[in-house]
Structure 1
Amino acid sequence: MQLLKIQINRKDDHSGAPLLPVLLLLILGITGFTIFQDFLHSSYHNYAFYFSESLLFKSFWLLFLPLSFLQFQLLKRSVAYVPATLIPVILHVVAFAFSVWLLSALLFTHTYGFKDLIGYTLSEDSYKYVLIYGTIPFLYARQQTVAQKQKSFPTAPVKRITIGSARNHISIAVDEILYISSAAPYIAIRIQQKSHLHAESLKSIHKKLDQQQFIRIHKSTILNMEQVSSYKSRLNGDYDVLLKNGESLRLSRNYSAKFKELMG
């Protein structure tokens, strides 16, 4: 029987990250609540409550943190659903038994047996393993689906942008832009009358613009293709692009393919 796989986009290095802080808060909250529950149980049944011993066994919940992170890494690598669930479950059972056995041997007057702890956690906590580690892959897959849908419907290019630095800002239509160049730590947006400094990166502003109208012609220059009059070769792989206003810009050979495609 073929194992069900959760397909993951390997290029998304941050996948699963929004789920981890939520899981952290949830597990810490559950740990504190179950310790308080032990206190209430001991008070109701009139027996001594030992915080250290309660905390020792509640380390069961804390182990979900690193092992959930491990499960996310397995899913990011497109590991099949079944092993991506079983691996953290098995590691959790062994890690819980070992940690309680070791800490009780080092810090307590009595030592809990390793085999007894294995049996204890399997009999008491099996449904928790299945519920948590079995649910995470589906939450992760849903997150990937939402991310893919967002990529499938990109934001429409802006028609106007507000540019400026410090306290001076103006709004212009993007069609008025001739080109945008790097002017560290700013960018210079060239329109017919003058250049305006703007506090943004070339990469950031390029994402807002129509990719078929504004293209990179150099690592430090974005050109409005509607402002191009002609271009000619420098005979070394680069080109000189003549704009309608008479200015000339350098077209790097590394960006010439896209330029020629749009020029037709």
Structure 2
Amino acid sequence: MQLLKIQINAQDDHSGARPLPILLSLILGITGFTVFQDFLHSSYNNYAFHFSESLLFKSFWLLFLPFSFLQFRLLKRSAAFVPALLLPIALHILAFACTVWLLSALLFTHTYAFRDLIGYTLSEDSYKYVLIYGATALLYIRRQAVVQKPEAFPAAPVKKITIGAARNFSSIAVDEILYISSCTPYISIRTRQKSHLYTESLKSIMSRLDQQQFVRVHKSTIVNIHQVRSYRSRLNGDYDILLKNEEEVRLSRNYAQRFKELMG
């Protein structure tokens, strides 16, 4: 259990980091493409293209990288979807306005007003914020939902079956069962002493029995391999099974392979 816990924790630690190289490549590609788009737009409309100014406003795309990482961290800490969506968006808007304002003040002859930058990005980029941060959050949540869970151990086969009618109940050891047959709407559990009606389906009771001891021999019959004396062919693909109490049960050709495997 300790090893399992360590493995799950290790997986969680990297769950937010793995998408980052892909995200970085995507953001750089989009940034380059949008700068080129600005160049084409300026050429088509016959105005001067300023690479530095275009790249300055494309810092909008570059800021997705740190704030997407922040979003992954929030989701990893079990933050609700809405806060994990809105907080990165709000910080991104402020960071974009601050970045363009500061760099324009330091590197350009004119400075873009902080308030105008907030209004600009809200009017031009709101849908981009929602789509990108919404998509990354949903992808992260979906990815976490499909993390493989520890495989549950199958329940141990039952050793006894309790048979009851009214206020009288008795237990039958499964080793004493000769065969179980369908007796709609019940099943009949046959022992050497008698047959007992039981409220359960063949499929259901088969799932609770030892699969190495009990085998389906017909669509309506399950046999205890330990109670089989012999079997012989009917020469048509079916067989007759002789039980230790001298009763015979039919073995259908559709179930013969598994029966023979258990009989050895």
So what's the TM-score if we normalise by structure 1?
0.52
Q: Quote the Cα distance in structure 2 between the aligned partners of 1:148 and 1:110.
A: 55
Structure 1 residues 11 and 29: alpha-carbon distance in aligned structure 2, compared to 1, 3 A threshold: closer
- Structure 2 unaligned regions, length at least 5: 1-7, 153-264
Q: How does 1:93-172 map to 2 (within 5 A)?
A: 93-148=93-148, 152=151
Query: Displacement of 1:143 after TM fit?
Result: 1.3
Q: Which structure 2 residues correspond to residues 1-264 of structure 1 after superposition, within 5 A? A: 12-148=12-148, 152=151
CA apart distance, 1:16: 2.2
Indicate if the aligned counterparts of 1:10 and 1:76 stay in contact, CA closer than 8 A.
Answer: no
**One-letter code aligned to 1:115:** R
Point out where structure 1 has 5 or more consecutive residues left out of the alignment.
1-7, 154-264
The AA in structure 1 aligned to 2:87 is I
**Deviations 1:110-148 (CA, angstroms, capped at 9, x unpaired):** 000000000000000000000011111110012112323
SS in 1 for 2:144: helix
Distance 2:142 2:148 in 1: 10
Distance 1:36 1:149, change over 3 A: farther
- Report the count of equivalent residues: 146
Q: SS of 1:147's equivalent?
A: coil
Greater RCO, CA 8 A, separation 6+: 1
Q: Give the Å deviation of 1:11.
A: 6.9
In 2, distance between residues paired with 1:121 and 1:103?
A: 16
C-alpha separation in 2, matches of 1:135 and 1:10 = 24
Q: CA RMSD in A?
A: 2.2
- Give the Cα separation in 1 of the matches to 2:140 and 2:105: 38
Q: CA deviation at 1:149?
A: 5.2
C-alpha distance after superposition, 1:63-87 (max 9, x if no partner): 0000000000000000010001110
**Shift in Å at residue 107 of structure 1?**
0.3
**Match of 2:133, as an amino acid?**
Y
> Which entry has the higher C-alpha Rg, 1 or 2?
2
> Match for 2:39: what amino acid?
F
Equivalent-residue separation in structure 2 for 1:75 and 1:148 (angstroms): 18
Return the offset for 1:17: 2.2
Give the residue type in structure 2 aligned to 1:20.
L
Q: 1:13-67: per-residue Cα shift (whole Å, max 9, x none)? A: 1112221111111110000000000000000011000000000000000000000
The alpha-carbon deviation at position 10 of structure 1 amounts to: 8.9
- Counterpart amino acid of residue 24 in structure 1: L
Instruction: Please say which of residues 133-142 and 109-118 is displaced more in the overlay.
Output: 133-142
Question: Normalising by structure 2, what TM-score?
Answer: 0.52
Q: Measure, in 2, the Cα distance between the counterparts of 1:25 and 1:61.
A: 11
